[in-house]
Every structure is written in C-alpha cells, then in structure tokens.
Amino acid sequence: MRPFLNSCLALVLLTGPVSAHNDPLAWPNPILPQRADPHLTLHTDGWYYFTATVPEYDRIELRRARTLGALSTAEPKVIWRKHERGPMSHHIWAPEIHFINGKWYVYFAAGRAEDVWAIRQYVLECDAANPLEGTWREKGEIRMNWDSFTLDATTFAHRGARYLVWAQSVPERRGTSLFIAPMDTPWSITGRQVLLSQPEFAWERRGHNVNEAPAVLHRNGRLFLTYSASATDANYCLGLLTADEDADLLDPKSWRKSPEPVFKSHPPTSQYGPGHNCFTTTPDGQTDILVYHARNYERIVGEPLYNPDRATRAQVLRWNADGTPDFGVPVADTPRPADTLTIDTRAPGKPISPDLIGIFFEDINYAADGGLYAELVQNRSFEYQPTARTEWNALTAWDVVRRNGATGPVVVADAFPIHPHNPRYVVIEVQQPGGGLGLLNGGFDGIAVHAGKPCDFALWGRQLFTGNRWGNSGALDGPARFTVRLETPAGGVLAEASVAVTGRDWHRVTAVLTPTNTEPNARLVVLCHTRGGVAVDDISLFPRDTFKGRPNGLRADLAQAIADLRPRFVRFPGGCLVHGYGLGNLYRWPDTVGPVEQRRAQPNMWGYYQTMGLGYFEYFQFCKDIGAKPLPVVPAGVCCQNADHQGGTGQRGLPLDAMPAYIQEVLDLIAWANGPTNSKWGAVRAAAGHPEPFGLEYLGVGNEEHITPVFRERFQMIQDAVRARHPEITVIGTTGPFHSGPDYDAGWKLADELRVAMVDEHYYVPPRWMWENLERYDRYDRARAKVYLGEYAAHDDRRRTTLRSALAEAAFLTSLERNADVVVMASYAPLLGKRDRTQWNPNLIYFSNTNVVRTINYYVQQLFSHHAGNEYLPGTLSPATPTGPAGLRAEDGVFLGTWNTQAEFDDVQLLVNGAPVVTDDFAKPAPHWQPVAGRWTVTDGVYRQSGPDEPARSRLTVPPGATNYTLTLRARKTGGAEGFLIGFRARDHANHYWWNLGGWGNTRHAIEKHTDGVAARVGADRTGRIELNRWHDVRLEVAGDRIRCFLDNEPLHDVTDAGFATPRDFAWSAVRDTQSGDLILKLVNGSTTERPLQIQLPGLPGPRSAALTVLTAADPTVANDFEQPDRVAPQTRSLNVTPEFDYAVPAHSLSVIRIPAN
C-alpha cells in the first residue's frame, strides 16, 4: 500500500484554467493558480481526486481528473459548506480526501464564528462510489488527548494499523508540534497521543514556531514523513522525519529528524515558500510525484496567511542511491509559447482624439476644502449648519479661548453681514482682556505648517462698541488689538503676529506667520486684547507656497500630482454635487466667482460644506496652469433623483417660468469664460485677474440624470439655447449612472432624437467586467453621438486600488485608444480622497495634510497620458487571445437570502428541464438547504430567516447538468430594511447572481452579478418595493444564457447574460505620435504568468534603443498606501528593438515601449 497525504493553511482564488494534458507526466506548473494546501488521492478507479482550501474559508470542494494536467480544467464540486455559527463555522482549512474501508472521508480543520482561532479537526463521510455525487455526512470532531489549536490531520495505514498524524499546540509552548496516535475508527483516535516533532531548528522557527502539514510516504523499507515549518511566507519549507518500516511508529525514538530542510525557497526558479505537500504517483504507479504549493514571488504585502497566491504545483520525486528521497528544488513556472504581435508601421493610422485622457474633479472626500483648496482654516466664515450634519453649527471647528483671566461672551450674529451670501459672523465681547479672548481653529484634522515657510493670515472685522456694551457712550477709543498665533497642540508658540481692527465698517486685515518649527497638527489662535465688542468673519490662513504662487490658490503638492498626469481636460465641479439634493442645492456658478467673502457657501451631496473658495475662476485658472481644457458641468434644471432620500423618485425640475433666467445663467457662463474684456462678463473675468478668454469648448449639462419628461424638456431648452447662441460649444448629455439599463437606453434615445453631439457614460465595475468588455466600443455606431466616458473605475475587493484593478483599467484604456474615433474623452473617478474622510472608494490619489499617495491606478492614467498618440495603428496577435468559454455550467447553486431583513419562505419548487427535483412546503426539516449566513429555521411550516445579516443566505445545490431550471416560491417580509435576495448561478460567495427584490432601501428591483466579490447590475432595474407581512409570488427562470424574473406574476426582467465567461487576460494597443514620429506599444498582461511575445514591426527602419516602462508587482492584490506609498511605481530602462524582436511581458503588468523615429 502506498499511503500519501498533506494539509496546511491557505487563502486562494481560482483563476483561468490551463489546458489539460493526456500525458501522465506532462502538466503545467502551476497546475492550479491560487490553490494552496493541495491534497489528492489516486483511486483504484483511475481518477485523481483533488481538494484544497478555498479562499473564502467557507466550504470544501472536490474535483477529479484522469491526469494531473487535467485537474486545471476539472470543474469543482462543493460537497460541504460551513455552519452559520458554532463548530465548523469559520476558517475551513486544509481538507484531505481518503478512501478507507470502502468509504470516502474528508479531514479538515475549522474554527468558530464566535472564536475564529478555536481551530479543531473534523471529519466528513460519504459512501458513494463517486464522492462528487454522493451525500456527505458530518462525523464530528476528532477528540485529541487535550483541547487546543489543532489542524492538518492526515491518516495512513501501516501493517494493519491505522494512524492519525496532526499538528497541535502544546499548553505553555508557542507554536505547533506534530503528534501521532492510533485510530479505532476513521473519525477517532485511541490511546495516548505521542509527540513526534516540535520546532527546534532555526529554520523551523522563522516568523512562527511551526511544525504542521504532515504527509507520509512508504518506500524502500522506510516511512518518510514530511512536514512544513516556519511562517507561511518565503520561509516556509519542508522538513523530514524517517522511520524504519519495522519500527514502533508510536515511539518517538523511532523517528529521525533531518537537521536541514529538504525542500525550500529557490530564487533561481522564482519559487518561494514551498510546502504543505502530499505524495502521489503516475497512474501506472511507477513514478512518485511530489505535490505542493508555492508562490512565484518573495515579497508579500500584509499577513502571508491572507495572501491568495500560493499555487498547486507538482514535480517528479527522485530517489538517491541510499533509498532516501531527493526532493530537488522547486521547478520554475512552465513557460508558455510565444505569441506573435504584428504592427505594420507603414500602415495609415486611425485618428485618436487629442483630448482622450483627462481628469474629473468633484468635491467629494474633502477633495476641495481641506484638500486641493489650500485654505487651512475650517469653517472660516461660520456658515456650517445642521443641513450638512445634524451635529454641526456656525461654531463647528472653532473653540472659544479665554486666556489668563479673560472674560466675555463669544456669539454668532447675522444682523450686519459682510455680504448677503455670507450671512453669519462672530461677535467677541471682551469684558476683561486678561491674556486674550478669542477663537481657536484646528483646521481640517490639524494645520500642517513647515519651518520657515510663511503663511498668510487674513481676517475681516469691524468694531461694535467700546467697554461695557450698555454702560458706555459707544465712542470708539481705539482699535481692537489682536494677537494671532500658530501653536502646537501643547500650546507652544510656532509663530505670532499682531493685527488691529479699526472702525465700524467691515475691512480686511492681514499678517504673515512664519513657523519656527514643522508641526503637522498646529492650531490657529486669534485673541482680542481690547475691551469692547468686535465682529469677525472670514478668518483665513493660506500657505504662501501655493501652486504657481496663486493667491487664494491650490495646495502645491496635491496640484502638482494632478498636473503630473498631464490631463488633456478637467471636468468640474461634479458629479452628483452639481444637481444637488434639492432645487435649492443646485451648484450655481455665479455664486462661486468674485471676492471669496462674497461667495455663497453651501452643503454638498457628500455631507459637508463647500466654501466655494475653490470656485469657477480657480477651476478655469488651474486648467490654464496645467494646459488642460476646461469642461464645466452645469445642472440641467433638475435636482438629483435621489434627493431627500427618495430612492430614485426625488427628481424635481425648476419651474418652467424660471427656466429663461436659468438658461441665461448658462449662457452667461460661456460669456464669462470666452467673452472680451469690454463685455459684462468678460470684465468680471478680467477683474479677477485673467483678461484673456479661457477658450471654453465643452459644456456638460446634467449628471447621471433619471431620463424623465421633466429632465428631457429642460435639457432640450438648454441645448437649443446654447446651440443657437454658441454653435462652437459642444454640449454633452447624460446617459445615467450605469453602462446599461433604462436610463442608459433612454439617454441614448434622447441623444439620437435631439442630435446631441456627445453623451456622458458612467460605470463602476469589477475588474473582470473591463476584461470581458474590451470590444464594447468596437460595436458602437459611428454615426451616433460621440462618447465621453466621464466616470469609470474598476472596483476590486473591498474597493481597494489594487494592481489587479489598475491593470483592468489599463486593458480597457487600450480599447479606448482603439476606438478613440468614438470615445473622445475619458476620466477616472473620483480623483481625490482624504485619509479618514472618504465617502467613496476607490480614488485615484489619496492624501493627508502632509502626504500624497499616488495609487497604482494613478500610474496607469499617467502612462497612458504621457504616451498618448494621435494615430492608432492596426495589428494582429497570433494566436488571438480568445474570450474564454461561456460561463454557463452545471451544478451551480441557487439560494434564498435577505439583506438586513427578516423574511419567511414557503412552497419552494425547483424544476430542472421541466421536471420537479425539489419541492418544499417546510412541513418537516429540510436538510438539503445549507445555511451560509443568517438565522435559518424551519418553523410553523415556513423557512424563516430572523437575523440581521448583510446578506443572509441559505443555499440549495442545483442537480448535475442543470443549466435550464425554474425556481418558484412564496416569500413574506416580516421586518427589516429591504426585501428578498433570490440567488442563482451561485459558484461561491464572491461569484454569483442574485435577483435583488426591494433593494436600495426597498426602492427598486434589479439583477446583480457578483464577480470576484464586486457587484454589477445586469439589465434594467425596476422601481418597486416589498410590502411588509404580505406573501409575494416569486418566479425565476434560467434557460441557458437567458434570465427571466416575475414578481406576483408580473414580468420584471428579461435579460441575456453569458455567465462567468473566462475573460481575456491580455490586451495591447499601438499608437503613433506624429509630432515626434515615435511608435508606442502598450501591453497589458493580467495573468499570473509572463507572456512571451515575438513583436514584428514591418517598416521599422533598422534597430532602435527604445524606452521600456513597466508597472508590475508579483502580487496583483497589492496597493499603494500611506505606509508604503511607492510600493508599486513605473520603472523605466532602455530596450533594444529591431523590426522583429522578442519581449516577455511580465505577469501582472503594464509595459509601455516607446520606439523613437530616429
């Protein structure tokens, strides 16, 4: 008998399949990317049965194949899922499959949801011939001699006895050790457990003290027991214990430990942390094979246990002359054959829009005030109100300061403001001056100042009375004297100056504060020393060093980071804040120009105030300073459809009798931007400091609007007026917030009817969606409106700016270059996010008061902008990279669910190909339902979910071969915020569809596709709600790629979707810069292995030294952050190119090859 096994800990994500091999000694490495803790059994039926830890730690999968190579394309089958709570409800780790006494057993480790590190060992049993088809029963926990952290159990038989070997923590000893005990059943041990090995050598104690993942091989008169040691990073390695076959295996003295690891990281082959192995053979039993996991890179971001890139690998195990195993070194990844990319440099190119790559700025995430706008004082004009946040008031961000016996009130007043747009100010009444009475402001999470760098202070003030308010003649004895300081949090003085307010009229006083030390959390203190009353407003502190030295300017480092993108245009000021949360909150451009103390501050859609200090003049000036075209967006005469929390029904339009004045306001914007200085609005622009016209070409009207008759009427009025008065201006319409759906369709229909020159598309999608839709714009009708892709981003797991998301965006940008005759502009969104102040993730640039983090996604935008061409060159890739097979497959599950909602389900029927296979009236327990999350019980003849989980789910596996099925049921909401989730095509928790009934606060119904943990809508959503305590009839029909949904017998959705098709993982573009003559190749490799290319450039006149810039990292889930802002950044070197040369595109990379003309 040849026993073998393995196990350990891992997190993995299954990626695209590798071609199967019929040769039993031919397989690709890795066999399964992102699958760790591999264990397989070669059964007597000729099949390899394989299992491993899944990334979600929530289930156990099996697959089988005739050869090792074919495992990569074998479909996994879920045989068991974790419990909701209690034992076996968390950290499902390291399953092993064994065939014992005619039955199948799976051994695995698991924790508890209540105590995730309470890891213990458990067993499942199945008596079917094919374990993928049989029913698996829980046999419970294997009870060891003491109760502690336990994992990685394996079993083997030797000379009629069966043994269990496992890893377990020992009381009062750190780490895990190996134990052995005899077994009396396949799910229990008997007698005393014996310590075999504990971490003692240095190589077993790196990172953690670990002996785990035993595997046993019986050969050449000996038993060889491998185990894994140290932390699960590059230090992970294999150790070896050896015992004679006649020895007492329960005697620790029978086992000899090798003093050095027998299998470890090997940089020359780029394999790191090999371990958690098992053993198998070729089907003929003649060749031993070592199966293990490893990574192909050394550096890991974060905790190695939660890194997904350990991959299943295999290699032949050789034998030394003395009969001991020769493990060798981990072999390198299998190279793939080179593809040929041919670009005929002599061919005529297709014009590319000169404005393709730009930016979109919206004041979200404190992007303006507290961010790009350099003002350091928060709430400088005392205009904060509870309309933004309930806890806010006019003195938010200010503290009243009374130093050294000073007394007197400080109150907010509004009787005689500086300007009607700035109605509130503060009155300081000094009764006893003491050390000064006044105000303290900590800025936006602190005021960052730098030693020797001056700051400009300003204050508007006027005197009110002298001495006691009522006991004095009112004559002013002299100026109100102030001390202005920058202080440390402890009160130390960093800088100090004096100013005086004189007279009863509002006037501005200034001072310069030059800090003596650098302090990231300084405070501004303004103290009055004169008895009497003084009114103050618009208290300001600016760094002298603004971008381009502009007064009322921009934060230099943040503005420079934006300028370094070299954007061709800037869209501003939004976004959702343009149409506001009501008609009174529309963004009105005239209120944002002129002296800052006369601008109207107002709350925005994102829960804070805008001072409008960064107003239209500053936006236009910034565009001029960085060489970008301005693209302002004005309201379309309607407010946001989500205004007043109306869930898509809150859109309101300006009264029609108010529209002529509003249209004039839009026309005035064009006059202000482009008019001569002797015109009314041109003079206003010139007075602000810019006599030359700004050269406005584009005007956005509306943002993500619900396409209603109210919107249509007002949009048409605005467009007609602009077209009549300013035909030189391109008006940009809207197609809603999604890449498809009713507003998208209606927006395009409206654009066709009104001959709109350009429409604005928006979508935020999973990275996979971008790879799947590289041909989206190839199919667009060139006779219709041009496209401005105004907002887009790849939203990865937890909305992080990962390399994976950046490469998906890079791939999509190659498709935009190819289709730049249709897509003439594109801008990532949002642009800026302040640390700890974000309302939206991800963002292109993150910042704090002192630091700027350029994300990996930023560098993608920068590379495409810096290396833009104006001609696209056609080419061919041979063999072409096909989209993978249609993602429909049998054995995906369906599930019932809710989101923070309690519900009951009844009369569930599942029909496959028209025949009923499941019928449930819940009159008795329903064991075929598998709760995944939530509180599910069969109670009073219904299937009840009573928990608040987001989401709660209970799964039913669809029988084999089912891609055509109908699910019918009744459902009743009994409490909570939303409705029901009807899941289908459910592969795992990160990849499934659900029909969301009563989602988004119980306002609409939609089908959502979850890919790698990120949701995207499929087809149109429908407005609607789920009534409380009413039974609803639900029907879902899945017929191949067609999905139909009915609620209470009313058809709601009828869509076609191909399922989880394997997307492309390679994209390219070739462009020419006709000004320089340079040829620019962009190559995007989203796969886990490098891609060899033979690049043919017929027409290239001889060899050249090109500039090669590569953006890559070994781990696609890495992101730049404040701790490591430069973790991933472009690297440039020279590359010799000829009319035909080879280039291996690194895994997970964007490569830009710029070939000079001469």
Catalytic residues: 704
Inter-residue contact 39 to 22 (CB < 8 Å): no
Q: What angle separates helix 556-563 from helix 616-626, to the nearest 10 degrees?
A: 50
Inter-residue contact 782 to 1126 (CB < 8 Å): no
* Rounded Cα–Cα distance for residues 580 and 588 (Å): 10
* Rounded Cα–Cα distance for residues 574 and 582 (Å): 15
Q: Are strands 357-360 and 569-572 parallel, antiparallel or unpaired?
A: parallel
- Closest to 902 measured CA to CA, from 990, 807, 998: 998
The neighbour count for residue 389, using CB atoms within 10 Å, is 14
737 three-state secondary structure: coil
* Rounded Cα–Cα distance for residues 213 and 229 (Å): 9
CA distances from 365 to 485, 640, 835 (A): 29, 19, 8
First to last CA, the chain: 70
* Rounded Cα–Cα distance for residues 28 and 336 (Å): 9
- Closest to 141 measured CA to CA, from 166, 97, 110: 110
* Rounded Cα–Cα distance for residues 357 and 816 (Å): 10
* Rounded Cα–Cα distance for residues 635 and 622 (Å): 22
* Rounded Cα–Cα distance for residues 5 and 890 (Å): 30
- Closest to 480 measured CA to CA, from 454, 499, 500: 500
Inter-residue contact 1084 to 810 (CB < 8 Å): yes
On the 0-12 / 13-18 / 19+ scale of CB atoms within 10 A, 516 is middle
Quick one: tokens of 922?
């819940």
* Rounded Cα–Cα distance for residues 951 and 970 (Å): 19
Quick one: tokens of 1140?
């035909």
* Rounded Cα–Cα distance for residues 621 and 673 (Å): 11
CA distances from 618 to 443, 455, 625 (A): 21, 20, 10
Inter-residue contact 236 to 271 (CB < 8 Å): no
CA distances from 533 to 383, 466, 897 (A): 21, 6, 64
* Rounded Cα–Cα distance for residues 517 and 520 (Å): 10
- What letter represents residue 276's amino acid? H
φ and ψ of 583, to 5 deg? -60, -30
* Rounded Cα–Cα distance for residues 540 and 379 (Å): 9
The neighbour count for residue 268, using CB atoms within 10 Å, is 8
Inter-residue contact 376 to 397 (CB < 8 Å): no
Using the Cα atoms of residue 111, residue 115, residue 117 and residue 118 in order, give the sign of their dihedral: negative
HSE, side-chain direction, 13 A CA sphere, residue 817:
29
Length of the chain: 1158
* Rounded Cα–Cα distance for residues 591 and 615 (Å): 8
- What letter represents residue 401's amino acid? V
487's torsion region: left (phi>0), alpha (psi -120 to 50) or beta?
beta
Q: Are strands 103-112 and 519-528 parallel, antiparallel or unpaired?
A: unpaired
